[in-house]
């Protein structure tokens, strides 16, 4: 049996990067469930993890950190979208000017060189 096969069996290979690592978290273990790793992997990555599939069920700390950073970034994007949508609705009710006209008014007109 090769070292990769042994790593898969013992749970030391990362499902996300396929590198062997001594420090991994089981995706469906207590910590993985608390961190909602399976949900985040399935939501953000082009792979699907399932408790019953034959692939490794562990992720290395480096990949988990990157997944968490991506999750935080996505949460920030969603918050910004909700906030801007709410503000845009409030502004459109309060005034009749569109966001495009506000931007156009704030930007100086480009100066053209003489012919």
Which helix (H) or strand (E) element contains residue 22?
none
- pLDDT tier at 113 (50, 70, 90 boundaries)? low
- For the chain, give the percent of residues with pLDDT over 70: 70
Q: What backbone torsions phi and psi does residue 95 show, to the nearest 5 degrees? A: -140, 165
Q: Give residue limits of the domains in the chain.
A: 3-78
Q: What backbone torsions phi and psi does residue 60 show, to the nearest 5 degrees? A: -75, 160
Fold designation for 3-78: 3.40.1800
More confident residue, 111 or 102: 111
pLDDT, residue 5, reads 57
pLDDT, residue 16, reads 98
The 3-state secondary structure of 53-80, one letter per residue: CCCCCEEEHHHHHHHHHHHHHHHHHHHH
pLDDT, residue 28, reads 97
Q: Is the pTM of this model over 0.85?
A: no
How do residues 46-96 score in pLDDT, each as one tens digit? 999 999 999 999 999 999 999 999 999 999 999 999 999 988 887 777 665
pLDDT, residue 10, reads 60
pLDDT, residue 1, reads 44
- pLDDT tier at 19 (50, 70, 90 boundaries)? very high
**Residue 13 DSSP symbol:** B
Q: How far, in Å, CA of 68 to CA of 76, rounded?
A: 12
Q: Residue 56 has which token pair?
A: 């490794």
């Amino acid at each position: 049996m090769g070292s990769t096969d042994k790593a898969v069996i013992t749970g030391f290979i990362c499902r996300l990067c396929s590198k062997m690592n001594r420090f991994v978290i089981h995706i469906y273990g207590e910590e993985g469930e608390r961190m909602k790793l399976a949900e985040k992997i399935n939501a953000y990555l082009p792979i699907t993890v399932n408790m019953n599939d034959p692939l490794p069920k562990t992720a290395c700390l480096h990949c988990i950190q990157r997944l968490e950073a991506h999750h935080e970034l996505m949460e920030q994007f969603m918050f910004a979208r909700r906030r801007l949508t709410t503000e845009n609705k409030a502004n459109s009710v309060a005034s009749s000017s569109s966001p495009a006209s506000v931007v156009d008014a704030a930007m100086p007109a480009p100066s053209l060189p003489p012919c």
